[in-house]
A and B are shown apart, each in its own frame.
Chain A
């Protein structure tokens, strides 16, 4: 049973018992998860785990077989209620190539309710955010893959929606652009709820304050990033050889909930003990990497069926 964030009124998204099949393939199997308002949440899982299907159901592209979705406290996605409040970067939607970013964003922005007096400023702001201010009037056909990706990111962010779904947002971006986008997304923390699906776990670990791990259409882990990675209760100390007698590396310090000490206190005490025993410290790491946790959570799972994967 996956523990849920208490106090549903603070949630931007609550999914309960979601099921979705594509023919014989079970894409989602009793998926339940929640995302607090104002958080940046990572949606993680192997290929075919159901990430894109989940996002598509949240945005109303796909219809669930059963289960409930409560988006922004207004029930499942309904454009009459959610238009302008939800932005999405679909994983593989192609942009109309004959148009320019400004033309597309202007019409889409007007469609989602941005007033005529504000639309040009809103479009300019979001294009500047994705570093495309100077290509605003270039035809999409002339833009590189990375630039097109940034246009779709801009389309998700135009008009300051309350909830943003991003499916592989940094895919195809060069490192500098990816970092700029991560910084821009980090700036949304507290104001906008962001749900990001990505295979770049290091990126999610640095950006997200919450994480949901799904596998075979089920949620296998959900919680704050610090809790999931153990950064709030676990320290791994790697020793350099030669090791003092009776010690092996790494030394894992796991703080019990009943322990009255803080993690820095416990770590300092353990380090002092190790140094006193003659150990040489090579590295001290707080918690495990997100990658290690996810691999542990999804280890031993069979490969996804061919009908699964990211084309949903």
Chain B
């Protein structure tokens, strides 16, 4: 039980430091800012679309967007906006039985949550290695417990941001829009945020892995951020080089380790596909984390 207890206390230490240095608040505020912006943007787009539709139909425009949503869904405009974001027209069609705002916020959650976690997690261990304050922990618990405690602390930070994001989007959605069913909206927001969190797991593993690998917080942030932003490019390059020869097969294998390419899988309505995507996400997170930990375990601190 001692390792579990130690992981818990390292996580408490991690969260306490994050709160006291305002990193926790900053990360959550940044995430909430993004979610709030996404809801506002959605209502603006909806408002303009409804105004155009009202003008076409010769009816008065509504003051709160949302009352003409069923008509907009029927004419396919919203579906065409959503289709590239969820990986295809068929998926968009199937998903539109759910509140559109929930889906829209889900897209933003999947984009923002990895970004926030890369920012917060990439400096967590490396900063302590740099200042040598990690030595106060090393004399009290093992390196595995420290790494897992940091991971747990970051998971809690991500979960807190997610829950706050759901609450904000739900509140804004009900306030700024009309016609939203509170229960259906909440359910969709929770589900989409849950899938967004699972999608973000490999990025957390990547950032924490970088932090365990590099003893300099700036270096770890640069490594994690570059990897994060260049993943789509790397995926395109690897796909270009993939083929039946050895080098091509290696490219095919490397593509499997790029989490951004699994974005569309989390928009599937098939439970089997979602379970497979989740398992793959967890596996990738473990691989990235383990890669950094292998170095952290052996290095002089």
Residues of A within 8 A of B (CB): 56, 59-63, 79-80, 83-84, 86-88, 90, 92-96, 98-99, 103-104, 107-108, 110-113, 155
| B31-39, B135-143, B222-230, B252-260 - interface stretch | B135-143
Question: Contact: B132 with A87, CB < 8 Å?
Answer: no
A-B contact pairs, 14 of them (CB 8 A): A56-B300, A59-B138, A79-B141, A83-B139, A88-B135, A93-B136, A94-B132, A95-B136, A96-B17, A98-B20, A111-B141, A112-B140, A113-B2, A155-B136
Chain A, Cβ-Cβ closest to B18: A98
Residues of B within 8 A of A83 (CB): 139-141
Question: Whole-angstrom distance from the CB of A25 to the nearest CB of chain B?
Answer: 13
Question: Does B131 sit within 8 A of A, measured CB to CB?
Answer: yes
Contact flag A107-B131 (CB < 8 Å), given A84-B140, A86-B139, A112-B140: no
Contact flag A110-B9 (CB < 8 Å), given A61-B300, A155-B136: yes
Could you say which of B20, B21, B140, B301 has the most chain A C-beta atoms within 10 Å of its C-beta?
B140
Question: Whole-angstrom distance from the CB of A63 to the nearest CB of chain B?
Answer: 6
| Chain B positions 1 through 18: 1 when the CB is less than 8 Å from some CB of chain A, otherwise 0 | 010001001101100110
Question: Contact: A99 with B16, CB < 8 Å?
Answer: yes
Question: Does B133 sit within 8 A of A, measured CB to CB?
Answer: yes
Question: Contact: A93 with B140, CB < 8 Å?
Answer: no
How far does the alpha carbon of A96 sit from the alpha carbon of B131 in the complex, in Å? 9
Select which of B135, B136, B142, B301 is within 8 A of A79 by beta carbon: B142
Contact flag A96-B10 (CB < 8 Å), given A59-B138, A61-B300: no
Chain A, Cβ-Cβ closest to B300: A62
Question: Whole-angstrom distance from the CB of B21 to the nearest CB of chain A?
Answer: 5
Chain A, Cβ-Cβ closest to B149: A111
| Chain B positions 133 through 170: 1 when the CB is less than 8 Å from some CB of chain A, otherwise 0 | 11111111110010000000000000000000000000
How far does the alpha carbon of A277 sit from the alpha carbon of B178 in the complex, in Å? 115
Question: Contact: A107 with B138, CB < 8 Å?
Answer: no
Question: Contact: B140 with A111, CB < 8 Å?
Answer: yes
Residues of B within 8 A of A87 (CB): 139
Question: Whole-angstrom distance from the CB of A192 to the nearest CB of chain B?
Answer: 15
Chain A interface mostly helix, strand, loop or mixed?
loop
Question: Contact: B133 with A94, CB < 8 Å?
Answer: yes
Select which of A60, A92, A99, A112 is within 8 A of B17 by beta carbon: A99
Question: Whole-angstrom distance from the CB of B288 to the nearest CB of chain A?
Answer: 24
Question: Contact: B135 with A107, CB < 8 Å?
Answer: no
How far does the alpha carbon of A252 sit from the alpha carbon of B134 in the complex, in Å? 51
Question: Contact: A107 with B139, CB < 8 Å?
Answer: no
The interface size bin for chain B is: 20 to 34
How far does the alpha carbon of A5 sit from the alpha carbon of B132 in the complex, in Å? 34
How far does the alpha carbon of A103 sit from the alpha carbon of B21 in the complex, in Å? 14
Question: Contact: A79 with B138, CB < 8 Å?
Answer: yes
Question: Whole-angstrom distance from the CB of B87 to the nearest CB of chain A?
Answer: 43
How far does the alpha carbon of A113 sit from the alpha carbon of B6 in the complex, in Å? 9
> Assuming A61-B301, A99-B20, what are 17 further A-B pairs, CB within 8 angstroms?
A56-B300, A59-B135, A59-B138, A61-B138, A80-B2, A83-B141, A88-B135, A90-B136, A93-B131, A93-B133, A93-B136, A96-B17, A96-B21, A98-B17, A103-B16, A112-B141, A113-B2
Question: Whole-angstrom distance from the CB of A61 to the nearest CB of chain B?
Answer: 5
How far does the alpha carbon of A164 sit from the alpha carbon of B134 in the complex, in Å? 18
Question: Contact: A59 with B139, CB < 8 Å?
Answer: yes
Question: Contact: B21 with A98, CB < 8 Å?
Answer: yes
Chain B, Cβ-Cβ closest to A156: B139
How far does the alpha carbon of A90 sit from the alpha carbon of B135 in the complex, in Å? 7
Residues of B within 8 A of A103 (CB): 16, 20
Question: Contact: A108 with B301, CB < 8 Å?
Answer: no
How far does the alpha carbon of A249 sit from the alpha carbon of B12 in the complex, in Å? 66
Question: Contact: B20 with A60, CB < 8 Å?
Answer: no
Question: Whole-angstrom distance from the CB of A308 to the nearest CB of chain B?
Answer: 15
Contact flag A111-B9 (CB < 8 Å), given A94-B131, A155-B136: yes
Chain A, Cβ-Cβ closest to B23: A98
Contact flag A111-B138 (CB < 8 Å), given A61-B301, A98-B21: no
Question: Contact: B142 with A107, CB < 8 Å?
Answer: no
Contact flag A93-B139 (CB < 8 Å), given A62-B300, A107-B9, A107-B16: no
Select which of B132, B136, B300 is within 8 A of A108 by beta carbon: B136
Question: Contact: A79 with B133, CB < 8 Å?
Answer: no
How far does the alpha carbon of A79 sit from the alpha carbon of B2 in the complex, in Å? 11
Question: Contact: B138 with A108, CB < 8 Å?
Answer: no
Residues of B within 8 A of A95 (CB): 133, 136
How far does the alpha carbon of A2 sit from the alpha carbon of B96 in the complex, in Å? 81
Residues of A within 8 A of B140 (CB): 79, 83-84, 108, 111-112
Could you say which of B9, B20, B139 has the most chain A C-beta atoms within 10 Å of its C-beta?
B139
How far does the alpha carbon of A28 sit from the alpha carbon of B142 in the complex, in Å? 25
Residues of B within 8 A of A60 (CB): 138-139
Chain B positions 37-65 with a Cβ under 8 Å from a chain A Cβ:
none
Question: Whole-angstrom distance from the CB of A92 to the nearest CB of chain B?
Answer: 6
How far does the alpha carbon of A61 sit from the alpha carbon of B132 in the complex, in Å? 10
Chain A, Cβ-Cβ closest to B142: A79
Question: Contact: A111 with B135, CB < 8 Å?
Answer: no
Chain B, Cβ-Cβ closest to A110: B9
Question: Contact: B135 with A93, CB < 8 Å?
Answer: yes
Residues of A within 8 A of B300 (CB): 56, 61-63
Question: Whole-angstrom distance from the CB of B285 to the nearest CB of chain A?
Answer: 25
